[in-house]
Amino acid sequence: MFTVSANGANIPALGFGTFRMPDSDVARVLPEALKLGFRHVDTAQIYGNEAAVGEVLANSGIPRADIFLTTKVWVDRVGHDAFIASVDESLKKLKTDHVDLLLLHWPQSEMPLADRIGALNALVKAGKVKNIGVSNFSTALMAEAVKLSDAPLATNQVEYHPYLDQTKVLAEARKHGMSVTAYYLMADGKVPSDPLLKEIGARHGKTAAQVVLRWAIQQKDVVALSKTATVSRLPENFDVFDFALSLDEMEAIHGLAKPNGRIVNPGHLAPKWDD
Relative to beta strand 3-6, strand 9-12 is: antiparallel
Q: Could you give the CA distance from residue 264 to residue 22 in angstroms, rounded to a whole number?
A: 20
Choosing from 47, 160, 183, 184, the catalytic residue is 47
Q: Which amino acid is at 39?
A: R
Cα-to-chain-centroid distance, residue 51 = 19
Active site residue 47: yes
DSSP string for residues in 88-138: HHHHHHTTSS-BSEEEES-S--SS-HHHHHHHHHHHHHTTSBS-EEEES--
**22: CB partners within 8 A, 6+ apart:** 49
Instruction: Catalogue the active-site residues.
Output: 47
